[in-house]
A and B are shown apart, each in its own frame.
Chain A
Amino acid sequence: MSDLVNSEQSGATQRPATSILEVAGVSKRFGKFTAVNNVSFEIKDGEFFTLVGPSGSGKTTMLRMLVGMDTPTEGDIMLRNQRVNDLPPNQRPTCMVFQSLALFPHMTVGHNVEFPLMVRGQSESDRRTRAWELLKLLHLDPNRYYNKNVMQCSGGERQRVALARALAYDPEILFFDEPLSAIDARLRKVLQKELKDIQRDTKKTFCYVTHSLEEAMVMSDRVAILRGGVIEQIGTPSDIYASPKNAFVAEFMGEVNLLDVIGLGGYEAEWVMGYTKHRVRLPVVLGPGESRKLLIRPESLRFVTPGVVTDNIFPAQVLNEFLLGSRKQYHVEVEEGHPLTVERLREEGVSGPTVQLGWDVADSQLLES
């Protein structure tokens, strides 16, 4: 992607596409177990990059290597074109916000924030000035918080103190190890937005690690999805949403319907559910006997009124319905034991327990399983 195209896409925020961190063929093995397997990617200067994956995907191991708390078994980590594999964390110009936040429990908020400045030997007045600025930036009134014990702060306040402390270090890249996972949903939304704002205002490079793709999609410029120590897909949130590379990525994004299909040649396939099979039309050609997953988002499934023609129509039973604000979600079955999720506008409603279920071929995607 050229500079020109990139800056056009991201609009107001100017992003020089120079890469700040490059991960080249990195593996990490613990005995026989391979936590990270030959992973390569790069993080660009000033972007909000997110590593996302379920637990056990190797994302935390990857992060620990990036900040220097573990060393890769193989491969290189290059920070501004310098190999930093064996550089200990206290000599790297990077910094991490821990999942537990790891605030110093015996220090005040102010001293926590000043800690990186103190170890650097800055004068007390300089430290204080900087801490004061940072607390203000994070909406913590310095008059109230500077001398407050960190253990007396609320969850959200602690998040901000941890971020202020990391910013005080003035790192080239700021890493985050799921710091928001222990926060309740409402506050998490607020903090996600704040984090994004701070990233934009400070123009720092952020590298965030989380198990929630939703969180990743909200904040990130680019997302890398990890599974079993391997990167499954890497791209902008909209790219990933629009074209998930495989069934894992699609499923990871949230509630989707994945149908097991076996090609019959051409645009025809068999939808296999246990012992029964139904014929479906595909958006692309699939060779005979080839097995794939057909992705249909819940909002693409429709209840078809008699007379309307769509590509695929099946009779189905409605099992449950749930109200999700302005939308309604239904669980329906075409064949017993194989439920599908349908999401429609609340006003639409269903006529009875038996419905005609259908979708446009254009709304479905064929994925590798």
Chain B
Amino acid sequence: MIVTRAQKVGLSFYAGVVLLLFYFPLFCIITASLSKKRYFSFPYAWEDVTLKWYEDAIASPQVQEYVGISLKVAVLSTICSLFIGFFGALAYARYSWRWRKSFQKLVLLPLFFPQSVLGLALLMWFNFLDITPSWWTAVIAHTVWIAPIATLIMSIQAYSQDDSLEEAARDMGASRWQILRWITFPLLAPGMVSAACFCVLLSWGNFALSLFTTGADSALPEWLYARMTSGYQPIVPAVGSLSVFAAIALVCLVFGISARRSAHKVAQEGGH
């Protein structure tokens, strides 16, 4: 094509450098989590490699509690987001209705918004309603931010599927509900799996919203933040690393599923 070989190599090299730099901090965290010393210094000797901090982290009731809260918030806000997002995507991409264009802008709004301010606004709103912030107010906050993302992901999928399928079903006498049940939902369902993983992970890693809306409860990123800003503690990189590993595992799972699905698709298309 228009791109020469040299450019291709150059760009690939550039991408490699960016990726390396991108993963450098994670490498640092894992390195630090394996160091035995109370005060980290690099480089350290082989004898100083230890898994002690991981044991501490896993055994710590505090960490367990925060992981529990983070998980609860992530799962609940994901379920809410998927429900709202599925119907949101229908309104966004499938039905042509009067306010669709405005609705599409509304969906984007929370994404183009400073999260810390959103967290604060919700905090004040809960305060006004006399609701004491706790982990479940964080669920609401996370949903406000994640539901638009879920809507967008599913809308993109709705766009990529052929809408003549629905027209054909309609043509054969299916009611709108039957179309939704037998055509639209099954076609969007695979997309919902990846949207769900995305939502869980985004909630899991979110800090700015949790900071303001969890009240007396505390999500994992918050707890880490509090420890980070109050001097070095070796348990922090250990917990950070564990969180990284969990994310990697989930990403690999999603990647595996989608790779298998696309391989399946290729095999099918190659068949005829």
State A70–B1 Cα separation when bound (angstroms): 6
Determine how close the nearest CB of chain A comes to the CB of B272; give it in whole angstroms.
15
A69 on the interface (CB 8 Å rule)? yes
Residues of B within 8 A of A69 (CB): 1-2
Chain B residue nearest to A90 in the complex (CB): B2
Determine how close the nearest CB of chain B comes to the CB of A84; give it in whole angstroms.
16
State A88–B2 Cα separation when bound (angstroms): 8
Within 8 A of B (CB), among A81-105: 88-89
Chain A residue nearest to B4 in the complex (CB): A88
State A88–B5 Cα separation when bound (angstroms): 13
Residues of B within 8 A of A70 (CB): 1
State A111–B1 Cα separation when bound (angstroms): 25
Q: How large is the interface on B (under 10, 10 to 19, 20 to 34, 35 or more residues)?
A: under 10
Chain A residue nearest to B2 in the complex (CB): A69
**A-binding residues in B (CB < 8 A):** 1-2
5 contacts between A and B (CB under 8 A): A69-B1, A69-B2, A70-B1, A88-B2, A89-B2
The 3 closest A-B pairs by CB, nearest first: A69-B1, A69-B2, A70-B1
Determine how close the nearest CB of chain B comes to the CB of A55; give it in whole angstroms.
16
Determine how close the nearest CB of chain A comes to the CB of B270; give it in whole angstroms.
14
Chain B residue nearest to A89 in the complex (CB): B2
Chain B residue nearest to A64 in the complex (CB): B1
Chain A residue nearest to B1 in the complex (CB): A69
Chain B residue nearest to A70 in the complex (CB): B1
Determine how close the nearest CB of chain A comes to the CB of B3; give it in whole angstroms.
11
State A193–B2 Cα separation when bound (angstroms): 33
Residues of A within 8 A of B1 (CB): 69-70
State A249–B42 Cα separation when bound (angstroms): 75
Determine how close the nearest CB of chain B comes to the CB of A117; give it in whole angstroms.
21
Determine how close the nearest CB of chain B comes to the CB of A77; give it in whole angstroms.
17
State A89–B2 Cα separation when bound (angstroms): 8
State A321–B40 Cα separation when bound (angstroms): 92
State A69–B1 Cα separation when bound (angstroms): 5
Residues of B within 8 A of A88 (CB): 2
State A70–B4 Cα separation when bound (angstroms): 10
Residues of A within 8 A of B2 (CB): 69, 88-89
State A8–B1 Cα separation when bound (angstroms): 43
State A253–B71 Cα separation when bound (angstroms): 69
State A89–B1 Cα separation when bound (angstroms): 10
The contact string, 1 if C-beta is below 8 Å from chain B, for chain A 285-304, is 00000000000000000000
Determine how close the nearest CB of chain B comes to the CB of A257; give it in whole angstroms.
30
Determine how close the nearest CB of chain B comes to the CB of A108; give it in whole angstroms.
25
Chain B residue nearest to A68 in the complex (CB): B2
State A89–B4 Cα separation when bound (angstroms): 12
Residues of B within 8 A of A89 (CB): 2
Determine how close the nearest CB of chain B comes to the CB of A65; give it in whole angstroms.
12
State A303–B1 Cα separation when bound (angstroms): 56
Determine how close the nearest CB of chain B comes to the CB of A26; give it in whole angstroms.
18
State A359–B2 Cα separation when bound (angstroms): 55
Within 8 A of B (CB), among A14-39: none
State A70–B5 Cα separation when bound (angstroms): 12
Chain B residue nearest to A86 in the complex (CB): B4
